[in-house]
A and B are shown apart, each in its own frame.
Chain A
Amino acid sequence: MSSSVGIVTAQRATFDTPLTFKSGAVLPRYELMYETYGTLNADKSNAILICHALSGHHHVAGYYADDTKNIGWWDNMVGPGKPIDTLKFFVIGLNNLGGCHGSTGPSSIDPATGKPYGSSFPVITVEDWVNAQARLADQLGIQRFAAIVGGSLGGMQAMQWALAYPDRVAHVLAIATAPHLTAQNIAFNDVARSAILTDPEFHGGDFYQHGVVPTRGLRLARMLGHITYLSDDAMADKFGRELRHGKLNFSYDIEFQIESYLRYQGDKFAAYFDANTYLLMTKALDYFDPARELDGDLNRAFAAAKAKFLVVSFTTDWRFSPARSHEIVHALLHNRRDVSYAEVTSDHGHDSFLMEDAQYIAVMRNYLNNVFEEVSA
């Protein structure tokens, strides 16, 4: 039987060695929020790192003693008896650098100025994140991960681990992800960013000092995002053309249920998420392209990888479509790496990777059971 990891506590790791970003910018010191579940074994070989996507954070599973309704974002996947089984593995979730859940980010106070970093926080890349994650692993005494798991932008980080630190990860589980964004995908991100950048309350990123928040921009960005995370069919099934008040009102207020849903999601998100973090996350997505410096040759990029891969896509995911996963599979096959690929039939679009589909769960569980057997051998 599977259950919750129960009460969890967030922890803070401090790093005093400067981190040089891909852009050349240097962060002299920084902090990362993280949580751990399960027990690290004696030879420290059973660690799994969970990399989060755009709006994720370190609170992956369980709940807080003082906030029992605040359940981790991947609680259906991580826990005792769940596919990422905390009875077997030592699981780490973290909030990436630039985030807005306690790790050093644009809303943190810059010790040099005593003010929030705001616009001065460097533009960050997937490579930078992975370098910061490697330092967290060092601090926790983990030389090599049994597996690194991520969906979407998190999948990019998991792949980057295999390319940048091939000896430090045995298995990569890359879910609903892509080797780089398409022009269409970058376009969606740019519209989202434009919504934030043109909000009069954005103040060039330094809105903190003005005591305001660019909620309108954030809200629009999230609404757009949500449209692209769902499939046409899922939206039709869930909302159809259903009217909120049962009749046309000939107004611009909420009339269709889908409008109500999107605005609710937008408001909820804008109330807690940091606008600068949103900009950074979308930029990291846009920039990720391990083949860029290799004439676009993904085969060469993956030559560095030693990890075994599980690649998973979802049939109705049009933002990170199965075709994009095939590109990853192709590059791994070219290099004769161990790889399995599952294309899960699901109605939920890109959001499928967070859902509880029986086939998806079975694939994850079966794969990770073998990872555990390797660790225990």
Chain B
Amino acid sequence: MSGHDHATLAAVRPDFAAIAAWIPEGSAVLDLGCGDGSLLRYLRETRKVVGYGVEISDANVATCIANGVNVIQNDLESGLADFEDDAFDFVILSQTLQATKHTEALVNEILRVGREGIVSFPNFGYWKNRLQVLQGNMPISDDMPYQWYDTPNVHLCTFHDFENLCLTHSVQILERQVMTGGRRVIAFANLLGSMAVYRVKRAG
């Protein structure tokens, strides 16, 4: 993959660059719900990580293999039994949290298997989403491009909601990067940010 491709990829998925910036070279990384493996490939080529993905879809597994990315076909909801405690420096859950059924259990599993977790998700509290709810409709946006009846998103939340979960589940937030349309958001994040990437670890 050329440098140009890296730039294109980072533009399409703005969370990729934020995630990569947090990962030191040579880290061991697990990407949950890794899709076609493009983040892992990006991290391997830019950060030289030793990476593995977990993915359930047949088509994505075949594409990961074509991309030369290590992929373990499994349902991440059924647990991460293949992985030992603290097996990875980072466990990534990119734009998948809101689509998980057993979200609470998964957050615990992420921090069992990884020394740190990197979690990105769309902000239900983004003002454009709130506006649509005020207008009487479930929100549809670039980060949540689904109708209410066909969405895979079953656990949508706001930044506040996620941060409350961390507080009550002994999860320490190390860093947070909020973005809208690929640009960083500094103030009034829960209102102005459409998505965020969190770096977390077990508290204590």
Spell out A's residues near B (CB within 8 Å). 310, 326, 329-330, 333-334, 336, 338-345, 359, 362-363, 366-367, 369-370
Give me the 9 closest cross-chain CB pairs, A-B, nearest first: A366-B66, A362-B62, A366-B65, A341-B72, A343-B73, A359-B58, A370-B68, A340-B71, A367-B65
A310 to B61, CA, bound (A): 12
Q: Which A residues touch B73, using CB under 8 A?
A: 341-343
Kindly state the interface size class of chain B when it binds its partner.
20 to 34
Partner of B72, one of A329, A334, A345, A363: A329
Q: Which A residues touch B81, using CB under 8 A?
A: 326
A329 to B61, CA, bound (A): 15
A330 to B70, CA, bound (A): 13
Residue-by-residue, is B43-78 near A (CB-CB < 8 Å gives 1, otherwise 0)? 000000010100000100111111011111110000
**Contact sample, A vs B, 17 pairs, CB 8 Å cutoff:** A326-B81, A329-B82, A333-B72, A333-B87, A334-B84, A336-B50, A339-B70, A339-B72, A340-B61, A340-B64, A340-B72, A342-B71, A359-B58, A363-B61, A366-B63, A366-B65, A366-B66
A71 to B87, CA, bound (A): 46
Secondary structure call for the B interface? mixed
Q: Which B residues touch A363, using CB under 8 A?
A: 61-62, 65
Name the CB-closest residue of B to A343: B73
Q: How far is the CB of A323 from chain B (nearest CB, A)?
A: 10
In the complex where A330-B82, A336-B28 touch, is A370 in contact with B72 (Cβ < 8 A)? no
B70 close to A338 (CB less than 8 A): yes
Q: Which A residues touch B72, using CB under 8 A?
A: 329, 333, 339-341
Spell out B's residues near A (CB within 8 Å). 28, 50, 52, 58, 61-66, 68-74, 81-84, 87
A343 close to B74 (CB less than 8 A): yes
Q: Which B residues touch A366, using CB under 8 A?
A: 62-63, 65-66
Name the CB-closest residue of A to B58: A359
Q: How far is the CB of A164 from chain B (nearest CB, A)?
A: 24
Further 10 A-B residue pairs, CB within 8 A, beyond A333-B84, A362-B62, A366-B63: A310-B65, A326-B81, A329-B72, A333-B82, A340-B65, A341-B73, A344-B58, A359-B58, A363-B61, A363-B65
A363 to B70, CA, bound (A): 12
A362 to B57, CA, bound (A): 13
Q: How far is the CB of B203 from chain A (nearest CB, A)?
A: 27
In the complex where A333-B82, A333-B87, A367-B65 touch, is A345 in contact with B70 (Cβ < 8 A)? no
A362 to B62, CA, bound (A): 6
Q: How far is the CB of A368 from chain B (nearest CB, A)?
A: 10
A367 to B73, CA, bound (A): 14
Q: How far is the CB of A217 from chain B (nearest CB, A)?
A: 40
A342 close to B83 (CB less than 8 A): no
Q: Which B residues touch A333, using CB under 8 A?
A: 52, 72, 82-84, 87
A275 to B65, CA, bound (A): 41
Q: How far is the CB of B71 from chain A (nearest CB, A)?
A: 5
Q: How far is the CB of A71 from chain B (nearest CB, A)?
A: 27
A326 close to B61 (CB less than 8 A): no
Q: How far is the CB of A169 from chain B (nearest CB, A)?
A: 18
A326 to B54, CA, bound (A): 13
A341 to B62, CA, bound (A): 10
Name the CB-closest residue of B to A359: B58
Name the CB-closest residue of B to A345: B58
A344 to B28, CA, bound (A): 27
Q: Which A residues touch B64, using CB under 8 A?
A: 340
A330 to B69, CA, bound (A): 17
Q: How far is the CB of A47 from chain B (nearest CB, A)?
A: 21
Q: How far is the CB of B31 from chain A (nearest CB, A)?
A: 13
A339 to B68, CA, bound (A): 10
